[in-house]
Chain A
Amino acid sequence: MAYSDKVIDHYSNPRNVGTLDKSKKSVGTGLVGAPECGDVMRLQIEVDEATNTITDAKFKTFGCGSAIASSSLATEWLKGKTVDEALAIDNMEIVEELALPPVKIHCSVLAEDAIKSAINDYRVKNGLPELETAKSHH
C-alpha cells in the first residue's frame, strides 16, 4: 500500500511520543482499540484548569503507519486548544490532512475516539459528567 508523504513523515518522525503522569488530576488518558484488532492508541492530555486549555499532549500507538500518524497528528492539533475545541475535532479532518485511503479511515476514527476518551477521563477526574462520544463501532 502506498502511504502519503504526510503519513510517512509522522511515522518516521512521530511528534509527542511519550507518557504523562496519569495520577495527576490535570491529566486525562484515553486508551482505545484492542490488540487483536491490530490497533491500540493511548492518548493523554494535560489541561490547565484556569483556562480550560490543553497544555501538553502525548501518545503511544500500537498499529500501522496510518494509526501512528493519526495519533501523532492529533497530539499536534490538541496542544493549545481548549477542551471544547478539542471535542470538535472530527475524524474526517484527520483523513483529509493525512490523505488516508478508505481502508484506513478507521485509524482516524480511533484517534478521534482517543481524544474524546482522554477528555472524558479528565472530566470524570474533575467531577464533571461523562460525555456520550464513542464513534467507533467496527
Chain B
Amino acid sequence: MLKLPIYLDNNATTPLDPRVLEAMMPYLTEVFGNAASRNHPFGWAAEEAVDYAREQIAGLINCDPKEIIFTSGATESDNLAIKGVFEMYAQKGNHIITTTTEHKAVLDTCKHIEKMGGKVTYLPVNSEGLISLEELKAAMTPETILVAIMYGNNETGTIQPIREIAAIAHQHGALFMTDGTQAVGKIPVDVLADGIDLMAFTAHKMYGPKGIGALYVRRKNPRVKVTAQMDGGGHERGMRSGTLNVPGIVGLGKACELAKQEMAADAARLSTLRDRLEKELLGLEESYVNGSVEHRLPHVANISFKYVEGEGLMMGVKDLAVSSGSACTSASLEPSYVLKALGLSDDLAHSSLRFGLSRFTTDEQIDYAIGHVKEAVTKLREMSPLWEMFKEGIDLDKIEWAEH
C-alpha cells in the first residue's frame, strides 16, 4: 500500500539514510567525547571519528582531508566563505561577482557585503538559468576578489558551467567559490578538476543529518584563507570555532561515503524516473519545464502549468509534498525570484511545481504523482475562466483586467 502523502521535496531536505543513523548512534551515546580533548581516550575516540569522516568527505569531492572545515550547514558555510574572503582579502580588492539565482544564504550575504562597503555584481541568467561566460568576463575587474556562483540550482536544478567559470575567475586573479549544496552527493563534484577554491555543502541534502555542513577551503595553488566569523577556541585551523558536532560529522562522513558508492546508480535511476514524470506531465497542454533540460541535476524537475493558480494547485496535489514557485504568505503573492530571473511571468512562476526525487523514491510513487498532478491540473483548468478564454482563442494580455 502506498503511503500518502508522498515526499517529493528532496531539494528542501532528504530523509536520513538508516545506514547513516547507524554510523552516528555510538557517537550520540557511549562515544561522547570532545574531539578537542587531547588528554584522554574519550577525546581520542572522538577525534579519530572526525578524522575518518574528513577522509570520507575528501574522498567524495577529491580534496585533502585537511581542507574540510566543519560548520553547522550550507548557510553558515556560504556566510563564512563570502564574508571570510571579503575580510581576508580586503587589501587586494572589494568586488564580488555572483548571480541573481543564488540561494538567499549567498544573496543576503552579498547584500551584507554591500552594506560593509563592498561592491557586488549580480549576473543575470538566460531562460535556462545559465549565466553568460562573456558577461562574467566583462564583469571582472582588478578589484574582483571572489566569484561566487552555485553549482546546481535548488529550484530548477540547472547546473552552471563550473569549470569555465573557475577558469575565468583564476585568469583574473580572483578566487572561485561555489555553493555545492544541491550538487554534492548527487553528481560528481571534483574540486581539483573543477578548479573550485571554496565550496559550501551540507549533510541533510544527501541523506545525512541536519545541522552539519562543511566548507571546503583550498590549501594549495593557491592557499586560501578565510577570516573566522565567530571568535572562540580556534577550531578548524582557526577558521571556525566551536566544539565539533561529532555525531553530525560522522553522519556527514558516512553520507559522503555512501554517495560516492551509490551516486552513479542513483543518478541513473532517478533521471529515468524524473524524465518519465516530466514527459507525462508535459503531455498536459500548456505546461513548461523551468530551467535547463540539458544541464540539470538528475533528480529535479520544475514544471509550470499555465492557467492554473499556484496555491489552488498546491491544494489540489495534497497527496504530494512538493514545493511551489509561489511563496504565498499573505494576500500578496510573491513569485519565486529564481523563476522570475529566468524571465517567467508572475502567473507562470506562481503555477509551478518543483519535484525533488531521492534515493528512496519509488516507481510506484512516481506513477501515483503523475496521475495525481494530471487530475488536479485538469480539474482546476475546467474551473478556470482563463483556461476557457484561452481555449476560445482570446488573448488574455489584451483584456483590461479590473484594477486592483
Contacts and interface: CB of A to CB of B under 8 A. Distances in A.
Given A61-B384, A64-B315, A34 B309 contact: no
A62 B308 contact: yes
A62 B404 contact: no
Contacts of B311: 38, 63-65
B321 to A, nearest CB: 15
Contact of A63 (B312, B346, B387, B396): B312
Nearest to B310: A38
Interface in B357-393: 382-388
B331 interface: yes
A104 B334 CA distance: 15
A33 interface: yes
A14 interface: yes
B385 A42 contact: yes
B383 A35 contact: no
Contact of B315 (A3, A37, A41, A134): A3
A15 to B, nearest CB: 11
A4 interface: no
Given A62-B309, A65-B311, A68-B312, A37 B384 contact: no
Interface centre among A68, A106, A137 (most CB of B within 10 A): A68
Given A11-B315, A35-B347, A41 B404 contact: no
A39 interface: yes
Contact of A14 (B307, B328, B383): B383
A60 B333 contact: no
User: What size tier do the contact residues of chain A reach?
Assistant: 20 to 34
B273 to A, nearest CB: 29
B330 interface: yes
B404 A31 contact: no
Contacts of A38: 309-311, 326, 328, 333, 347, 350
Interface centre among B333, B402, B404 (most CB of A within 10 A): B402
A136 interface: yes
A103 interface: yes
Contacts of B388: 19, 60
Interface in A88-109: 103-106
Nearest to A61: B383
A106 B331 contact: yes
Interface centre among B328, B333, B350, B404 (most CB of A within 10 A): B404
A36 interface: yes
Given A35-B347, A60-B385, A136 B396 contact: no
Nearest to A113: B402
A65 B314 CA distance: 9
A74 interface: no
Contacts of B328: 38, 64
Contacts of A113: 402
Contact of B383 (A37, A39, A60): A60
Interface of B: 307-312, 315, 326, 328, 330-331, 333, 345-347, 350, 382-388, 396, 401-402, 404
Interface of A: 3, 11, 14, 17, 19, 31-42, 60-65, 67-68, 103-106, 113, 134, 136-138
Given A63-B309, A67-B309, 14 more contacts: A14-B383, A33-B402, A33-B404, A34-B401, A38-B309, A41-B385, A60-B385, A62-B307, A62-B385, A63-B311, A64-B315, A68-B383, A136-B402, A138-B404
Shortest 7 CB-CB distances between A and B: which pairs?
A34-B401, A64-B311, A138-B404, A42-B385, A60-B385, A62-B384, A65-B315
29 contacts: A3-B315, A11-B315, A17-B382, A19-B388, A32-B402, A35-B347, A36-B347, A37-B404, A38-B311, A38-B326, A38-B333, A38-B350, A40-B384, A40-B386, A41-B385, A60-B383, A61-B385, A62-B384, A62-B387, A63-B309, A64-B309, A65-B312, A67-B312, A68-B383, A105-B331, A134-B402, A136-B404, A138-B331, A138-B404
